Amino acid sequence: MGPLPKRKVSKSRRNKRRAHDALSLPPLVWDADTGEYRLAHHVCKKTGMYKGKQVIEVKED
């Protein structure tokens, strides 16, 4: 026989262990240039700006 638990894990103990498993939202910040939310510390995909500087060229459709 393989290893088996010695005692039943109570609901309280089980739920305490799972307390850190919840998903969290990504760090979004308000972009004043576009008026939309974007990921913090990332280049804006619409304008190509980062910290007030143009860092990538964006193709316009």
Q: Which pLDDT score is estimated for 2?
A: 86
Q: Which residue type, as a one-letter code, is found at position 25?
A: L
Q: Are 50 and 41 in contact (CB under 8 A)?
A: no
Q: Which pLDDT score is estimated for 33?
A: 85
* pLDDT tens, residue order, the chain (61 aa): 789 999 999 999 999 999 999 999 999 999 988 899 999 999 998 889 999 899 999 887 6
